[in-house]
Structure 1
């Protein structure tokens, strides 16, 4: 029997296929688009987003999707997506059960994925609430602005629920009860990372007992369902990618594990991929448990693309490197979130990232993690709890003892067993000019004779011979580069005397090319 330890890849669909066909989408077309990316890949489980705040099934206690505005929509995308759901219901069809049935026919487990505090309200504030036209808005939210975080959190997330309010938690628990009891899912995911703003600022750690209490109630529900059906009903939770991040947000993961409140643990970034998830730390927490560990990927790593490869190539290489690192650290498998795809666009990754052996001899890009913050514009504040220990970018300054920032790069490939065609360690320096003197060290040995290429951010036909950033590339001997941790240090020896700006180290990458 399939179990969470054997999924290889968990694929989270956010429900987008409802919007991939014009009105009226047929059930067959909807299911074909939903499962096309998954069939004949390493995916063993589909986590299906069942909506955010309004339900997508008839309910006596919960508001139905699009009722708040009488099925009048704010834009064409909301109309297509939501009306396709509503018209299926009007025809007497049930897309939730249909998703489950098709998944079971394909031999997959299918979970309901409940977003615990989703906020796609585009930065709207409390003052906007009564005039806001948004399909996922509910009358409950409009009637009770005092139940929302408002100015007590990041501005963009002002309309997020305050989970300290008992009525809010009862609403979320009722949503959970209905989705679990009404359908034949194999389990349910509590997606706490969509979005991780649950309490007033600086209170989350002290209020973590509140979310633990919710987890206990959820576990009681899943156990009741399991007993009634005579089959397992699994509980998954998506949390922050680091122990510190979990504590900052209010996830007492240690207690959840100790009290056996979860079957599947999914540490992941909340906004973009976190390529430095603390798999080892989470693995230690569950060492004496049967909990499955699936570190998560999002649609991409946030921040500007720096090349020299095109972004699609970089994404594939970086994803494979990070996935192999996670397997090496003891991950059960890989969790894919926001990998919107048709049959072919993500097939290579979904056929490789779930197993260590299928990642061998694949081109990879290992990189040092960035600390990325979005302070203005859309999604400002969303990255607050992600990549807390991102070591780049960092300005290089002269020091008394001729030292600089040092970094640890974990190599998961065995380059002696599988020798690559070439191995390159490269450093990107912003505002570098000829005359700057920088020392690069790998495992305390100086690297010499770099090839220097100006960075044109992926432009294949640059019109200039120079740019304001340059890659310093070093050929590395694979024989001297075993799997494991490698220490890197970068030291500024002398800055060009005519430059007043900082010399900034923005990227460190190890590129492994097998072909």
Structure 2
């Protein structure tokens, strides 16, 4: 009997998995939630079965991906309901199908970690607006767990979003973001808190605290942080956010090209991450996806030291989002990249690019509708919202439906690069403007519709 159980189980598992994959493919054109539910409930998978399930999962419908930067506004008394009411609960009737939850900046998070420091507790207890973190620790929960649980209960997909090199802690405006890890490892950073960046750096001003990815210690701690989340939280995937902020090697800041050997070391890190997500995915019986957010020019990414096309060729990425403070190429180019590598692609909208200013309370809905409509027409798979946090925002019930947008008042613009913005293409790579491929007919002229 024992021998029969050993030989029969893999066969049964294979047959069940193939059935789930086939049913999932049929459901992907109909009830997407049912398809995802079947994938979620599949038994422990072989590697081949996991990859089939991952291909289904990466192509699920995501009308809008919402990035929550983790700065949820929570006032006492601290309860799960009040936390979710800040930015999440009212999304239940929106077009937001996926939440990318960013729980902090490198080495300082609101989720519980044995590797990083925790915002709002211990030496970071005075971080403004994070008093709720300790309260939820006492309840044996945290920000990421609460978001994951809400998404499970409301049929939403959820990713942990990791900012690969957030440089807010370089600024005197946010002194509380500096961690002991960075203070104790100055050799792993671009510069120092005392002296800033070296005088030889031609760009990257105000970014001394960025981690150097040519240092093996940095790559290891980044891997450890990602692995910790993947093994401890029931997320559907992880996002590697290379837009916050786009500097990873010293050479671009010195006006030099990044050596291929350094880019290969970065690629090897993502191979290791992919292997880890496959191991964890097989153990839990459903895939862990890997998303990236990048500048929308492959040439610009290489100038930063990111060999993105190689990552896509090696199947190290499942979802690609392009653009942020500026975009460099027509959305059609991003859509073509998705077609070429069989990955869904998303158009990122941020206030500074769309309206030319940050944190304005006056949203020009016509501009946002036109931006989204043009992106849909160009062939993207969905819309990605950055720095929009109001869950009652009407745009979260409009931008994910191109047929609805066609009927609404809009200005059909596509914004690329606004010179007055705080971040410019040349801030991060030498001759950054050479990668701008803005069509002449989209240089600021707008068309009112309908």
Q: TM-score, normalised by structure 2?
A: 0.75
Conservation of the 8 A alpha-carbon contact between 2:326 and 2:424: no
Conservation of the 8 A alpha-carbon contact between 1:162 and 1:199: yes
Matched, 1:301 2:353: yes
Alignment of 1:446-461 (within 5 A): none
Structure 2 residue aligned with 1:100: 148
Q: 157, 160, 176: which one pairs with 1:109?
A: 157
Conservation of the 8 A alpha-carbon contact between 2:67 and 2:384: yes
Q: Distance in 2 between matches of 1:316 and 1:384?
A: 31
The unaligned stretches of length 5 or more in structure 1 are 125-131, 393-405, 410-506
Q: Which has the higher contact order (CA 8 A, sep 6+)?
A: 2
Q: TM-score, normalised by structure 1?
A: 0.66
Q: 305, 316, 335: which one pairs with 2:384?
A: 335
Structure 2 residue aligned with 1:29: 82
Report how far residue 197 of structure 1 moved: 1.0
Report how far residue 205 of structure 1 moved: 6.2
Q: 123, 129, 132: which one pairs with 2:171?
A: 123
Root mean square deviation of aligned Cα: 2.9
Match of 1:46, SS?
strand
Note closer, same or farther for the CA distance 1:508–1:387 as it changes in structure 2 (3 Å cut).
same
Count residues in correspondence.
Answer: 376
Matched, 1:240 2:295: yes
Structure 2 residue aligned with 1:284: 336
Q: Distance in 1 between matches of 2:353 and 2:214?
A: 32
Conservation of the 8 A alpha-carbon contact between 2:204 and 2:427: no
Conservation of the 8 A alpha-carbon contact between 1:49 and 1:114: yes
Q: Distance in 2 between matches of 1:513 and 1:285?
A: 29
The unaligned stretches of length 5 or more in structure 2 are 1-34, 37-56, 192-197
Matched, 1:134 2:175: yes
Q: Which has the larger radius of gyration?
A: 1
Q: Distance in 2 between matches of 1:33 and 1:370?
A: 31
Q: 316, 319, 328: which one pairs with 1:264?
A: 319
Note closer, same or farther for the CA distance 1:226–1:391 as it changes in structure 2 (3 Å cut).
closer
Q: For each residue in 1:212-254, what CA deviation from the matched residue of structure 2 results, as whole angstroms up to 9, or x when unmatched?
A: 2221121111111111111121110111122222122122121
Conservation of the 8 A alpha-carbon contact between 1:119 and 1:157: yes
Matched, 1:220 2:268: no
Structure 1 residue aligned with 2:418: 372
Structure 1 residue aligned with 2:92: 39
After superposing on structure 2, the runs of 4+ consecutive aligned residues of structure 1 that deviate more than 4 Å are 302-305, 378-392
Matched, 1:54 2:87: no
Match of 1:11, SS?
strand
Which structure dedicates a bigger proportion of its chain to helix?
2
Structure 2 residue aligned with 1:498: none
Which structure dedicates a bigger proportion of its chain to strand?
1
Match of 2:213, SS?
coil
Alignment of 1:377-388 (within 5 A): 384=428
